[in-house]
Structure 1
Amino acid sequence: MATLNTYLNFNGNTEEAFNFYKSVFGGEFLVLQRYKDSPGCEGMPLSDQEKLMHIALPIGGNILMGTDITNPMPPATFGTGISLSIDATSEDEAKRLFNSLSAGGTVTMALEKTFWNALFGMATDKFGIQWMVNYDYK
């Protein structure tokens, strides 16, 4: 079976966002590549050369990846079209993840026990990314 990983586009603050995600989930970056270190990017504006061309952070068995959008690409837009869903391994982990991801952002559904026998909540982080945190009670 193929592996599905998540790739996020940001408008110049990918490094800040991924340092935040690293503080939430732990781990080390698999890749952190700037445009200035990539062949064919020598002619880019100097302001874009320090931006991230690619970054990757393993989370569980998946990889969260990202990039800074630069010209001539259109800017990244954020909306309600997608949410990232995290299945925690314990109630304490769900609380920690939810509180960390929602810090500086907006809680759209408080983390609470649900009728489907789970601890569940939704938040948009301070970078505009929507998260769903879930812990299924056994």
Structure 2
Amino acid sequence: MKSITPFITLNGNSEAAMRYYAEIIPNAEITQMDKFDDDGTKTFQGVLNIDGIDVNFLDMKHDKKAPDLNWSFSLMVECSSESEFDELFEALSKDGTIVMGPEPVCEYERATWVTDKFGVTWQLVI
């Protein structure tokens, strides 16, 4: 096996999601943004690199709908400081849904699950 890469499929807002994450997440940058040829608005292959880990994005074409995302799959971020945790929590929960926390969980000082405005669920821990 060469690699395993998280791959998120959305319905026309992959570029907006990637730009938002690149803005709010430390060490995140868009490294690829290829569009479908038909209209140039939907993302065919988008790559957001977060601290050395690629997360791929795709928009479904007009005649197909992506399955609804849910919190059973999430991206976990181990924050390096309380301020980083607080900033990410505030940004990701804005216009989103707090699934759990923040609260102490096992060895973590604080943990939370947040589904953001794009429907992607994040676990933040410190």
Distance 1:96 1:74 in 2: 32
CA RMSD of aligned residues (A): 2.0
Structure 1's 103 and 74: CA in aligned 2 closer, same or farther, altered over 3 A? closer
Separation in 1, partners of 2:48, 2:88: 16
* TM-score of the aligned structures, taking structure 1 as reference length: 0.78
Deviation at 1:81, TM superposition (A): 2.8
Structure with greater proportional helix content: 1
Q: Unmatched 5+ residue regions in structure 1?
A: 37-43
- Structure 2 Cα separation of the partners of residues 63 and 31 of structure 1: 10
Q: Unpaired segments of 5 or more residues in structure 2?
A: none
Give TM-score, length-normalised by structure 2. 0.85
1:92 and 2:83 equivalent? yes
Compared with structure 1, are the counterparts of its residues 2 and 89 closer, same or farther at alpha carbon in structure 2 (3 Å cutoff)?
farther
Larger Rg: 1
| 1:77 equivalent in structure 2 | 68
Deviation at 1:11, TM superposition (A): 0.7
Letter in 2 for 1:81: S
1:19 is aligned with what amino acid? R
Q: How many residues align?
A: 125
- Higher fraction of strand: 2
Provide the secondary structure at the position in 1 that maps to 2:29. Answer: coil
- Match of 1:103? 94
Equivalent pair of 2:108/2:125 in contact (CA under 8 Å): no
The alignment-based identity, stated in percent, is 26
Alignment of 1:26-45 (within 5 A): 26=26, 27-36=28-37, 44=38
Query: Does residue 4 of structure 2 align to residue 13 of structure 1?
Result: no
Contact 1:95–1:111 (Cα < 8 Å) also in 2: no
